Structure 1
Amino acid sequence: MESESTVTTCYRHPKVESYVRCTRCERFICPDCMREAAVGHQCPECVREGARSVRQARTVVGGRVSAVPLVTYALIGLNVLAYAAELVDENVLNRFDMLGTVPRGYLPEGVAHGEWYRLLTGAFLHLPPTQGTFGILHIVMNMVSLWNLGRVVEAQLGRVRYLALYLLSALGGSVLVLLIAPTTPTVGASGAIFGVGAAYYVLARRLGADMGQVNRFMAGLLLWLVISAGLTSWQGHLGGLLAGGVVTLAYAYAPRDARRPWIQAGVCAVLLVVLVVCVWAKVNALT
């Protein structure tokens, strides 16, 4: 005569009776451990293992696909916070704007005198309201442009590549200002945004998009570059445009194999070195 059937329990909760097996590892699991699967149920460990083995979707340039443009939101937030800091303390503008060299007070200030941080901090500052209506429009126009362009480009590049593009474009704009107009204080995210605009154009061509609207956008961008020559820092705009174009060309046309991330990172690193060398050479010439 056969003995009574052995009572089976959940492998994660030994005190809970269970008669359902994980369809993957065939261990018994209780209702709290059951996870819906295509067929039957799986245990939490098998679900996690399966998630690791699933290949994550990638953008056309190899970045991770993300539904939320988190970097764009963060960059807009940083610009707004910097603007708020300017409203609280007027000295913030003079302390962190992009400046090559100029005597202020008793001692000269600027990148040429060790303040290299100005190459990036100036790209997060904007003209305050005390400098006329354009002071308010300055940050509003830049943030609206970043909102519209940034979300599209970040979705196509992925967060890491997009952030690298933005920072290198901002740096490229500041470096050209340093090389051509070192005694002119400049502020604004325009250089970085022009770099994002260049990325939008390059990616549209890479993806085979309808270039009619894209060409009109690029023509408007270049027209603003010319018109704004007497109103804003055309050097910062042009420097950001060129840096953004170089970075995105590397992103978009690197071979789609194991070498791609190394080539993309290598081009970014080379561009960074070139910009640093330009700054170093100009600083030595100014001091």
Structure 2
Amino acid sequence: MNLPAEDYRCYNHPDREAYISCQRCERLICPDCMRDASVGFQCPSCIAEGAKTVRQPTTLAGGAVSGREGRVSMILIGINVAAYVAQLATGDRAGDVYQQGALQAYVTADGDYWRLLTSAFLHGSMLHLLFNMYALYLFGPFVERALGTARFVVAYLTSALAGSIVVYLLADPATVTIGASGAVFGLFGLALIFLLKAKQDVRTLLVLLAINAFISVAGPNISWEGHLGGFVAGVALGAVFAYAPRDRRTLVQSLAIGALWIVMIAAFVLRTMQLTP
């Protein structure tokens, strides 16, 4: 490049002398604009343009890869613990937090619809809380890593709601139900599908599921309905997330999740009509 001396100026900083050309666009660049490239240097504009053509990594389900895996799972654990502390601080089962948040079909049908979700953040005892939070600690980050942040939050809340809906449909309407078990069993279902998709050994998980299924049915004061609803929702969501066509994955996943919510809402409306005069 043969230019008059006064024309050797950086294209981005005309007041600065420049004697190096960008390897991509061949414009002159000053030291502040030099960006290391595989060969020589490139200017900031070419670096930015090149970055647009690089495919960004995605999760198994097509979500954005988070730089802090497991963060949402830890936040959920914190919310559950905080809710339990608030429950104890306000009188436990006799206090407002428990009384206004626990799921009881007759009261819910009378207009307290929020109980379908708030009940998933309350617990009956410290042991109950510890069991659920330990399961969330073990399985949450794995599922979160496979889904990405947004999809994980949607899956967790959908599983929690599905567990409550099945309780609402099948349990004695006078029964009071609390706990994150529906959401946790949803994580079990999601993890099972993802492991099968990856052709991993699922025997340990199946044994864990069998033990939990037995406890759910045989144990006293355990909501097998909530466990069943959460697990079925988790399996359904896992299948959608893992096997949706890659070229229209987000659309298929959104439609499937929307359809699941419509089914749950319809079931809730029908059951509410049965419970209210």
Shift of 1:173: 0.5
Shift of 1:3: 9.3
Which amino acid in the other structure matches residue 102 of structure 2?
D
Tell me which of 235, 255, 262 is aligned to 1:266.
255
User: What TM-score does the superposition give when structure 2 sets the normalisation length?
Assistant: 0.88
Paired with 2:211 and 2:27, the residues of 1 have a C-alpha distance of: 64
Higher deviation after alignment, 41-50 or 173-182? 41-50
Contact 1:57 1:65 in 2 (8 A): yes
CA pair 241-3 structure 1, distance change in 2 beyond 3 A: closer
What percentage of aligned pairs have identical amino acids?
A: 42
Paired with 1:21 and 1:94, the residues of 2 have a C-alpha distance of: 71
Is 2:88 the partner of 1:94?
Answer: no
- 4+ aligned runs moved over 4 Å, structure 1: none
Paired with 1:21 and 1:84, the residues of 2 have a C-alpha distance of: 63
User: What TM-score does the superposition give when structure 1 sets the normalisation length?
Assistant: 0.85
Counterpart in 1 of 2:112?
115
Tell me, what secondary structure is at the counterpart of 1:251? helix
Trace 1:153-232 onto structure 2 (pairs within 5 A): 153-181=143-171, 182-228=173-219, 230-232=220-222
Shift of 1:285: 1.2
Is 2:236 the partner of 1:239?
Answer: no
Paired positions, count: 269
For structure 1, the residue ranges without an aligned partner over 5 or more in a row are 102-109, 128-134
Paired with 2:36 and 2:23, the residues of 1 have a C-alpha distance of: 10
- C-alpha RMSD of matched pairs (Å): 2.1
Contact 2:216 2:223 in 1 (8 A): no
Tell me, what secondary structure is at the counterpart of 2:104? coil
Paired with 1:28 and 1:84, the residues of 2 have a C-alpha distance of: 63
Shift of 1:188: 1.3
CA deviation vs aligned residue, 1:125-164 (integer Å, no higher than 9, x gap): 223xxxxxxx112222211111110111111222222222
CA pair 52-77 structure 1, distance change in 2 beyond 3 A: farther
Tell me, what secondary structure is at the counterpart of 1:6? helix
Contact 1:225 1:238 in 2 (8 A): no
Counterpart in 2 of 1:149?
139
Counterpart in 2 of 1:278?
267
Paired with 2:146 and 2:3, the residues of 1 have a C-alpha distance of: 64
Shift of 1:4: 5.8
Trace 1:29-178 onto structure 2 (pairs within 5 A): 29-67=29-67, 68-89=69-90, 90-101=95-106, 110-127=107-124, 135-178=125-168
Counterpart in 2 of 1:9?
9
